[in-house]
Chain A
Amino acid sequence: MAETETDFQRELGAHGLIDPMETHARREHPSAKEYIRIFVILVVFTSIEVSIWYVRQQMGGWYLPVLFPLMVAKFSLVVLWFMHLRFDDRRFSRFFLMGLAGAVTLYFIVLLTFRTFLR
């Protein structure tokens, strides 16, 4: 079925009817097994986050540099796999990134303005 759709889309692309990369789903969504694999990674990352909270005093300045990448990784895994942005049309990603980047930029400027990072 997927192969038929690919051929179909290729045919449309060959006649200039669509951009082959601008289809609703760029790739097939993952299987249940892959979702479970992603979930295990998320659980491991969360466990690391919680574990390092208990040893944050000993970690000193390393605590936040370890914590933030874990948060970003978890966020990205959910968005890319569970929300299918990795597999769906790129325009959906652009829509979401527009708001996300706007929010991060805007509020980072607000925090800088109030010198939050210097306190």
Chain B
Amino acid sequence: MVDAAITKKHDEHETTTGLPHTKLAMWLFLSSECLLFGALITTYVLYRNASIKGPYPNEIFDIAYTSVSSFVLLTSSLTMVLSVNAAQLRDWPRMRLWLLTTAMLGMTFVGGQVYEFTSFYREGLAITTNLFGTTFYTLTGFHGVHVTVGILMLLSLVAMSFADRLGDEPAFAVEMVGLYWHFVDIVWIVIFTVVYLIPTSGPHK
């Protein structure tokens, strides 16, 4: 048993940490992303009340609409974790179904964001209009790009699973993409509260 254990230990722990380095690298990457989004959120907070002309947040935000977007992204987190669960159970059809559902929900969220940006622009808020516009579009735009990258990763996973190119551990690949997707969700949890739900000075509705 011990010999077998040593052999298995040798096989399984090829890395110096005894942990899969891909997963460790993913967590390190997400850790660095905290600094990126932290900088963008801080800049927004720093300048939130510094605009000298409108439109101001309270004039253009539609909380009901953004709440629906938040529920969509939250639901995509559930479908993502269900696809990881299906992959761990080696239930490939269900895994693909949940991955595609997650990608669809992600596309709905990004589509909603594009619509929101368009309506804000029509109401007079461009990226150069005021400090609120600059920091808001930069922060939410960066987040939208991350969601879009996540959608591409999800669709790639589906395509690769059909081509049987996910390697020996498909569940591991799905879990890694899942970590990225959930990170995008937790960033939105913070953005939704800090940007949309915290009242700012300026004209109120």
Binding site for B on A (CB under 8 A): 8, 11-12, 15, 17-18, 22-24, 29, 31-32, 35-36, 39, 42-43, 46, 49-50, 53-54, 56, 63-64, 67-68, 70-71, 74-75, 78-79, 81-84, 89, 91-92, 95-96, 98-100, 102-104, 106-107, 110-111, 114, 116, 119
Across-interface contacts of B163 in A (CB, < 8 A): none
Which applies to chain A's interface (DSSP): helix, strand, loop or mixed? helix
Bound Cα distance from A22 to B24, whole angstroms: 14
Q: Are B5 and A96 in contact (CB under 8 A)?
A: no
Bound Cα distance from A99 to B77, whole angstroms: 22
Q: Are A95 and B1 in contact (CB under 8 A)?
A: no
In the complex, which residue of chain B has the Cβ closest to the Cβ of A40?
B78
Across-interface contacts of A107 in B (CB, < 8 A): 38-39, 41-42
Q: Are B8 and A95 in contact (CB under 8 A)?
A: no
Bound Cα distance from A25 to B122, whole angstroms: 51
List, sorted by A's number, 28 A–B pairs whose CB atoms are closer than 8 Å.
A12-B5, A22-B18, A31-B85, A35-B81, A35-B82, A36-B78, A39-B75, A39-B77, A39-B78, A46-B67, A46-B71, A46-B74, A68-B193, A71-B190, A71-B193, A78-B186, A82-B80, A82-B178, A83-B179, A91-B19, A92-B23, A95-B27, A98-B31, A99-B28, A103-B35, A103-B37, A106-B38, A107-B38
Encode B25-68 as 1/0 by CB contact (under 8 A) with A.
00110111111011101100110010000000000000110010
Q: Are B80 and A110 in contact (CB under 8 A)?
A: no
Is B197 in the interface zone, CB < 8 Å from A? yes
Bound Cα distance from A116 to B43, whole angstroms: 11
With contacts A12-B5, A17-B6, A82-B185 known, what are 18 further pairs, Cβ within 8 A? A11-B2, A35-B78, A35-B81, A42-B74, A50-B64, A53-B63, A63-B199, A71-B189, A83-B178, A83-B182, A91-B19, A96-B31, A99-B31, A100-B34, A102-B34, A102-B35, A103-B34, A114-B46
